[in-house]
Amino acid sequence: MKRITVYIITLFFIYSCELVDVLENDPPNNLVAENVVKSEADARALLNGAYTTITSRINDKYYMFSELIPSAMVGSMKSSGFGSINAQFSNNSLEFDNIFVRDYWLMFYKVMDVANNAIEQTTQLSSELISETSKKEIIGEARFLRAMTTFDALRYFGQFFDANSSLGIVLRTEPTNFVTRDKGRSTVAECYTQILSDLDAAIADAPDFSITYRASKTAAKALKAKVLLFQGKYVEAATLANEVINDGTTSLEPDFETTFSKGLNSSEMILMTYRDENSDSEDNNRKRFYFGRTANSTWFAALMGSDPRQPFTYSGTKVLKTNHVDTFRPTYFLRLAEMYLIKAEGLAFSGATLQDASEPLNIIRNRAGIGDTPATNIDELKDDIFNEIARELAFENGSEWFAAIRFDKAMTLKPSITSSNQYILPIPEEEINGNAKITLADQNPGYE
């Protein structure tokens, strides 16, 4: 973490051309610590750097690993494409010096650091240089990105499933430098508090929803519903998911195939990565080279069976929905179908009637062409909700992996998972060695 701020500045230079093409904002001419942001255009360019960090070819861990790693761990993807190290993910036997685990950790904190720089630098702009509205929108958008990366880091490296656990992650709410780099782990509760604080700020100040590849008020509400679900705040999660469903900014596509064939123009995408013919070049999109094999022996293949979505989800050699050639292989973070499933899960776990909890689930099932749920009681309905999450949201930002944990099915689906210690990844060796306030004693259980 010692050189992360310098690294982000370097990244900004490397991808400034891509920012101009994709986001139509000129980057600052002299991006150094003393004058990163001198105007509103500079502030927006710095914010754009966070999105570029997510999608850059050098730092592909966010847009690709978020599909490969969780899918390999839950078994929906038989091969993660990591060569000889693949067995560690597929067998749920991670080592603390796994280089891909290290890169994944660093990826979250790289994006987080750009967001923190955008927040700090934009906050310091005077009213003569930026309007109050623009300042709030930029900071609100950056706080969404900080919330998203903090939540993702917590889900993979902290005991997110235990509200009383001391094993959260390292919270970064200011730019990382020689003064701030040494910082200990926060509790899980403290992490959730920070995430929700950022999302509330984004709901208040981020721009209204207009495009699918930028943070917005709608995206902040959708992510907050997801966070609340992970916390077990089921009524609140269902209520907020229902608000997103009814706010009119997005709508379900008529069928599953259209959801992905329309790419950036899909009516139900809330947040996804920007992809076009230029960003899908051999040099800039490593998804072109990975294969996610789902063999007939996996639980996921058995679950998909003759489901109408299967031909649009994966083939015998690769994932199709996230490796869709015509839409330039995007990554999906949030879409409206997930809000229906969050609403169903929240209702089912909060004591709602079978009829009420089934209603949002049936909307997704009928859109898929498999009809209403056959469940006759809440326990059966919970199983149907899990199955529908796996079928509808497979390979989308770890949806099936985290659902398996929430529904207490991970150990049943994968015999190689025998302990909740395997639900999270080890804190990388580099973080322990480079952060004076993290020691071997702070390592996640099972990786000592």
Per-residue pLDDT of the chain (448 residues; tens, 9 = 90+): 333 333 333 444 333 333 333 333 333 333 444 457 999 999 999 999 999 999 876 666 788 888 889 999 999 987 655 566 678 998 999 998 999 999 999 999 999 999 999 999 999 999 999 999 999 999 999 999 999 999 999 999 999 999 999 999 999 999 998 889 999 999 999 999 999 999 999 999 999 999 999 999 999 999 999 999 999 999 999 999 999 999 999 999 999 999 999 999 999 999 999 988 888 887 777 777 777 677 667 899 899 999 999 999 988 778 889 888 899 989 999 999 999 999 999 999 999 999 999 999 999 999 999 999 999 999 999 999 999 999 999 999 999 999 999 999 999 999 999 999 999 999 999 999 999 999 999 999 999 7
Yes or no: say if 82 and 103 are a contact pair by the CB < 8 Å rule.
Answer: no
Output the CATH code of domain 1-81+97-206+418-448: 1.25.40.390
Core vs surface per residue 390-404: b (16+ CB within 10 A) or e: bbbbbbbbbbbbbbb
pTM for the complete prediction?
0.91
Give me 243's structure tokens: 């608000």
Residue 40 in tokens: 């509103």
| Distance of alpha carbon 148 from alpha carbon 108, whole angstroms | 9
| Residue range(s) of every CATH 1.25.40.390 domain in the chain | 1-81+97-206+418-448, 232-276+293-417
- Hey, what are 186's tokens? 């926060």
CATH class of this structure's domain 232-276+293-417:
mainly alpha
Query: For residues 97 and 90, what is the distance between their CA atoms, to the nearest angstrom?
Result: 16
Mapping DSSP to helix (H, G, I), strand (E, B) and coil, where does residue 51 land? helix
